[in-house]
Structures are given as C-alpha cells and as structure tokens.
C-alpha cells in the first residue's frame, strides 16, 4: 500500500484483532474460549474489509498473487462448506468448543489480506510489538496459573498452565512461536540495546513456561524456529563460512534425531515421545479415510467428530478404547482436507509454499533486514511445526494467517512514487486516512455485532441454566424446564449443547418427560449423530424402558460399526424384551469384532452360553 498512514491504520486494526483473539475470554458463556475469539476475529476481519474499501487504489498490483491465493482459499472453503455441510448454523459458526466455521475463517483470511497489503518494509516493528504483547500477557497469566494464583477457577483436568487458550497444548504452542520472535531480537543489531536484552528474556521465559506445560509442542516448535533464526544470523555474519555449513549439518542431524524421537525411535525417544502422538496417528488415519470417502468437499465444516466413528476400525482399537473419540484431526492440514476436501487442502499447501518462497526472496533481496525477517519467519516456521500435530484453535491459528500475510507483504519493496505524484498523493492521503480509520472502526462494530449472533444461543442456554427453582414448587420447576427446552431447541444441529440441556432437565424433580422429549427431538433432528441416538437410549434404559430404547440403539450401530460397546447395550435391550434370537445375532457380532481382552468379549460369550 503506497499510503503509509492508511497502511498503519489497517495494520494496527489487524494486529490488535490478533492480540485480542488470543487473550480474550468470556467466562459467562458455556464456551469461554472459542466463541469469544471468533467474535474478535470477525470484528477485526470486517474492520479490514471496510478499511480496504477506502484504499483499494493505493494497493500495489505485485501483492495480488498472495491476495488471490487467500481469496481462492476462502472461496473454496465457502463452496465446499455449502455443499458438504448439512447444517447451516454449523457452516457459519462451527461446532461447540471449536467455532471454526466460515465466519471465523472469513475473518482470519481478511486479517491475512489486511497485513499483506498494509505491511511496508521489512522491519516488522508493529508485528514484533504485537507478538511481544501476546507473549508477555500469556507468560504473566501462565505464571499466575503456575503458582495457583489464577483469579478464575477453571474446571481443568489438564496441566494448570492453560493461559487464555483453554488447553496446555495450545498454550505451549503460543509460547513457542511468540518466544522465537522475542529471542530473535537479540541478534538484530538495528534494535536498541534495551530491546535486545528485554525481548530475549521474555522469549526465554515463554520457552521455560512452555516446558512447564508438559507439552512438547511449544518447545519443539521454539527450537525449530530459533534454529532457522540462528542459521540466518550465521549466514549474515559471514556468508558461506565454515561456521554456517557446520551449523547447518549439525542442525540437520539434530532435526532428524528429534523427528525420530517424537516417533519413538532413537536416543531421544524416551524424552520426546508422548502417548498422545500415538493417539493422533489414529486421528490422522481417520482424516485420510474421510478425504478418500469425500475428496471434493469433505465431510462438512466441523463434522470430523461425527464422521470419526464411521471410519475408525479394528486397527484404531489396538491403540484406543472405543470410548475415546475426538472432534478434530489434530493436524490443521488434515482437518481442512477431511472436512472441506482435497481442493482446499491443495490451495492451503500452495499458500504455505508461497509464503516460504517469499521468505527466501526477502532474505535474498533485503540483506540489511535479514535478522528482522528471520525472526518473523522463525515464528511462522514454529507455528507450522505445531500445526501439523495440533488443532486449529482460534487463539493460536489466527497467528498463522497474520504471520503468513505479513511475510508475503514484507517481501515487496516499498513503492516510491515520482516527485510530482508524491505531492498529489500527500494531499489525497490526508482525507483518505481519516476515511480508512472511520470505515475500519465502523466495520469493527459491524463484525462484532454479526459475530455476536453466534453467541446468543450459547448465552440463552447459560441463562436458562441460571434460572433458580424450588424443588417443592412444581410451577418453578416447570418454568425452568420450559426455558431449558426452548433454549436447547434454539441451538439446532449441535448435539453437544443440547446434551447439556437434557442433562439439566434430567436433574429436575418430575421433569423426566421433558428430558426424554428433548432427547428424542435431538435424535430426530440429527439422525446422523451417534451421540444424539446414544443420549435417548441411555435415558430410556435408565428408566427401564428397553422397548423404546431399541430403535435408538439400532440407529447407533451403522454410525459406529466397529464399536462393540453399544452393540452390547442393544443386545441387552433385545434380550430384556424377549427377542432372544435377535440378541444372539448381536452377541455373535460382538464376539467377532471385540478383542479377546475386552470385558464385553467375555460378557457376550457368557450371554451366548446362557441363551443356548
């Protein structure tokens, strides 16, 4: 962008949105992490969109290749999502505890376009400040969690260092890639001395806290990104020196040993291998199967979880229990390919390759700023390293897009108009910058207002949960039951939210029928949801109504064909109503597919012996 002031406005809106996305949480909602972040992302994205409307004429054509790739990604996402997702709410807002629908990706792509267009030069001062803000805030909050001084009392089964991301893996990843940029400033001779001292200290604190999360994602990503920075620093210090080549050889060897160690091979296997990696390989296998089954537009936005049960097999159960399920592939590229198809995955890969190419161009063409470029590139490399084995959580993922856009934008020389045009442009710029700022601010309000619509059903359910009642006052019980039912039905296509409603209804005295009715409504409206069918079946079985439970158990079987556990419940229901021959057939299926070590294998054999 040729107008510096307008570019700065867009840049700070985009980076501010990134910082707020990572740090913002809202504890008064059922999803305190992802939904608030999706609102911030859309607000920032729409702010960029509106701001660009006033400044399109000052955008250099050379940057359009990157913009075209980003728009291609967004277009394919929208088309594939519309064709492959059978629930419009999920398409737009995503699923519970993820919120990675079209709205969120629309915002992230717009943020990437904004920084791509607005980044002028290769110093990346604003971006370094934004990353310092993220690292500083998360280190401070993480330290409070470490010493058990967190003002928020989370219900957290993980390591207590979760930051504002909700999970130690996400926290570790964020500390890893932001820490790389901070440490890189130590190598930048153009920085003031106090920056070269304090920023690396912050980066090392981020690294140490990442280690304390007990998640290897951040430390490994940090090491990979910093290794790149050191390599560029050696190249800058003395080109083609023996030190650079020696370092490259050692770094390459260490990389191989680390990769083997993560895969449970070699001398570092005991240090680097985590059980969760073995678990994730099964999730990756499932994602690849989904791509094979639905190559063009995937299984649908945020629909990995429902389809995971369909594609898992006996090989999966050698590693995982049937009760272990997931709603994500735990690999950003595979998640995109599984849920939105191979064409989107191809464009995503091309975009990352283009970023890598522009990094090479920048380092080659701008020797005076190589270290500044390397610091941001190192952060991007660290982000990519963790994204291959992690979830596209919004507080982390937004930086993948911002870093990519910044690196593409920073790879172009600043366009300098001739003296005659410069005077005219300066006069136009005075009015343009005000327009850009005003439209961006208006867009921010519009984006937050639109994003908030995805929040309303969540808050309605939370408010219904908060309605007091007197167990001895049937009228108050009925009022709460009605409010819960209405709130649950206002969240169509999300069985997780609705299961919470059913659970609350079941706790009310004399509200069994509303709980059953709500569960049956969920199962009817979501026939492809294993959880929806299971919810009804379990309630009816607990009420000793096996006849009514049988159709729901029967509906579960084709939705999770390799899982013998619901088959056992189905067979027990059949046996309870006197359908012994049908029960025998189901017990035989359990014996055929369950491993001999499973308790259900013995129970099924005992049942067959009992039934003759």
pLDDT digits (tens, 9 = 90+) for 575-585: 999 999 999 99
For residue 162, what pLDDT is reported?
Answer: 97
| Residue whose entry in the numeric block shows the structure tokens 């070269």 | 196
Is residue 416 scored above 60 in pLDDT? no
Q: What pLDDT shows up at residue 273?
A: 60
Taking residues 359-383, what's their average pLDDT?
96
Max avg pLDDT among 265-269, 372-376, 454-458, 493-497:
372-376
Residue 457 tokens, joined: 């059903």
> Which of 349, 338, 341, 366 is closest to 404 using CA atoms?
349
Give 153: exposed, middle or buried? Use CB within 10 Å, 0-12, 13-18, 19+. Answer: exposed
Cα angle 381, 115, 363 (rounded to 5 degrees) comes to 45
Q: Which of 343-347, 439-443, 451-455 has the lowest mean pLDDT?
A: 451-455
Band the pLDDT of 428: cuts 50, 70, 90.
low
Supply the pLDDT for residue 429: 55
Flag whether pLDDT at 419 surpasses 80: no
pLDDT at 424: 52
Taking 70 as the threshold, does the pLDDT of residue 411 lie above it? yes
| pLDDT mean over 110-138 | 95
HSE toward the beta carbon, residue 308, CA cutoff 13 A: 24
Model pLDDT, residue 356:
98
pLDDT class of 422 with cuts at 50, 70, 90: low
| pLDDT over 80 (residue 357) | yes
| Cβ atoms of residues 385 and 225 within 8 Å | yes
458-611 homologous superfamily: Tetratricopeptide repeat domain (1.25.40.10)
d(CA 198, CA 408): 28
Measured distance CA(105)–CA(112) in Å, rounded: 10
Top pLDDT among 78 and 419 is at: 78
Per-residue pLDDT band at 238 (split at 50, 70, 90): low
CB 94 within 8 A of CB 101: yes
Helix, strand, coil shares of the chain, percent, nearest 5, are: 75, 0, 25
Kindly report which listed range (1-5, 157-161, 383-387, 518-522) carries the lowest average pLDDT score.
1-5
Question: What is the pLDDT averaged over residues 251-267?
Answer: 74
Q: Specify the range with the lowest mean pLDDT, choosing from 42-56, 259-273, 416-430, 436-450.
A: 416-430
Residues 6 or more apart from 458 whose CB is under 8 A from it? 29, 30, 31, 35, 491, 497
| Residue 566 pLDDT greater than 80, yes or no | yes
Who's near 22: CB < 8 A, 6+ residues apart? Answer: 37, 134, 137, 138, 164, 165, 174, 395, 396, 398, 399
On the question of pLDDT at 239 being above 90, the answer is no
Summary mean pLDDT of the chain: 91
**The pLDDT of residue 417 is above 80:** no
Mean pLDDT in residue range 405-422: 76
Say whether 328 sits in a helix, a strand or coil.
coil
Q: What is the C-alpha to C-alpha distance for residues 286 and 280, in angstroms, rounded to an integer?
A: 10
| Distance from C-alpha of 118 to C-alpha of 101, rounded to nearest angstrom | 26
Over pLDDT 70: what percentage of the chain? 94
pLDDT, mean of residues 440-456: 93
What is the Cα 429 distance to its own chain's centre?
A: 38
Residue with tokens 């191809």: 346
Please classify residue 66 by burial: count the beta carbons closer than 10 Å to its beta carbon, then call 0-12 exposed, 13-18 middle and 19+ buried. Answer: buried
What are 95's two structure tokens?
């699923």
Confidence check: pLDDT of 262 > 60: yes
Distance CA 179, CA 171 (A): 12
Instruction: Give the model's pLDDT for residue 85.
Output: 92
Global pTM reads: 0.94
* Residue ranges per structural domain of the chain: 4-450, 458-611
Cα(248)–Cα(63) distance, integer angstroms: 32
pLDDT of residue 180: 98
pLDDT at residue 469 in the model: 87
Distance CA 145, CA 160 (A): 6
Using one digit for the tens of pLDDT, what is the confidence trace for 197-224?
999 999 999 999 999 999 989 999 999 9
Average pLDDT estimate for 213-238: 90
The pLDDT assigned to 122 comes to 84
Which three-class secondary structure state does DSSP give residue 86? Answer: coil
Three-class secondary structure of residue 257 per DSSP: helix
2: nearest Cα among 56, 59, 50, 49: 59
Residue 130, Cβ density class (10 Å: 0-12 exposed, 13-18 middle, ≥19 buried): buried
């Amino acid at each position: 962008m040729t107008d510096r002031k307008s570019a700065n406005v867009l840049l700070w809106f985009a980076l501010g949105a990134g910082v707020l996305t990572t740090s913002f949480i809202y504890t008064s909602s059922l999803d305190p992490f992802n939904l608030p972040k999706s609102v911030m992302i859309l607000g920032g994205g729409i702010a960029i969109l509106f701001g660009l409307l006033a400044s399109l004429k000052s955008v250099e054509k050379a940057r359009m290749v990157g913009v075209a790739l980003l728009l291609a990604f967004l277009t394919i996402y929208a088309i594939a999502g519309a064709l492959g997702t059978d629930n419009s709410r999920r398409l737009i807002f995503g699923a519970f505890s993820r919120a990675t629908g079209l709205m969120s990706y629309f915002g992230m792509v717009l943020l990437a376009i904004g920084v791509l267009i607005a980044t002028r030069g290769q110093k990346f001062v604003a971006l370094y400040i934004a990353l310092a803000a993220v690292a500083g805030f998360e280190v401070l909050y993480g330290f409070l969690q470490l010493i058990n001084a967190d003002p928020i009392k989370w219900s957290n089964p993980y390591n207590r260092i979760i930051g504002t991301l909700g999970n130690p893996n996400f926290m570790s990843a964020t500390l890893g890639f932001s820490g790389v940029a901070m440490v890189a400033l130590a190598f930048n001779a153009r920085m003031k001395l106090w920056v070269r001292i304090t920023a690396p200290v912050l980066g090392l604190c981020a690294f140490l806290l990442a280690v304390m999360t007990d998640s290897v994602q951040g430390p490994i990503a940090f090491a990979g990104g910093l290794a790149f920075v050191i390599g560029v620093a050696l190249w800058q210090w003395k080109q083609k020196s023996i030190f650079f080549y020696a370092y490259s050889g050692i770094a390459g060897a260490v990389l191989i040993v680390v990769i083997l160690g993560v895969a449970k091979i070699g001398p570092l296997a005991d240090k680097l291998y985590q059980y969760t990696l073995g678990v994730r390989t099964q999730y990756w296998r499932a994602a690849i199967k989904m791509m094979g089954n639905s190559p063009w537009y995937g299984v649908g936005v945020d629909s990995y979880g429902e389809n995971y049960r369909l594609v898992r097999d006996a090989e999966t159960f050698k590693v995982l229990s049937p009760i272990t399920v997931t709603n994500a592939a735990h690999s950003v590229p595979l998640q995109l390919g599984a849920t939105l198809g191979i064409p989107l995955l191809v464009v995503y890969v091309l975009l990352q390759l283009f970023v890598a190419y522009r990094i090479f161009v920048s380092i080659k063409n701008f020797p005076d700023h190589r270290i500044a470029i390397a610091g941001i590139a190192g952060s991007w490399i660290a982000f990519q390293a963790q994204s291959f084995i992690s979830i596209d959580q919004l507080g982390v993922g937004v930086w993948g897009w911002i870093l990519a856009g910044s690196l593409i934008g920073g790879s172009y020389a600043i366009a300098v108009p001739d003296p005659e045009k410069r005077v005219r442009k300066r006069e136009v710029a005075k009015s343009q910058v005000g327009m850009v700022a005003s439209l961006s601010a208006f867009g921010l309000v519009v984006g937050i207002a639109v994003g908030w619509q995805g929040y309303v059903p969540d808050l309605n359910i939370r408010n219904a949960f908060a309605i007091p009642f007197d167990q001895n006052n049937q009228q108050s019980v009925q009022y709460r039951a009605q409010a819960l039912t209405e709130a649950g039905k206002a969240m169509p296509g999300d069985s997780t939210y609705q299961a919470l409603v059913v659970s609350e209804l079941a706790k009310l005295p004399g509200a069994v029928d509303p709980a059953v009715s709500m569960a049956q409504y969920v199962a009817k409206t979501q026939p492809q949801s294993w959880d929806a069918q299971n919810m009804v079946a379990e309630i009816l079985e607990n009420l000793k109504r096996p006849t009514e439970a049988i159709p729901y158990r029967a509906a579960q079987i084709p939705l999770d064909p390799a899982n013998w556990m619901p088959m056992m419940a189905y067979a027990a229901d059949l046996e309870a109503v006197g359908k012994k021959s049908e029960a025998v057939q189901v017990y035989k299926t359990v014996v055929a597919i369950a491993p001999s070590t499973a308790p259900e294998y013995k129970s099924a054999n005992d049942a067959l012996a009992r039934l003759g």
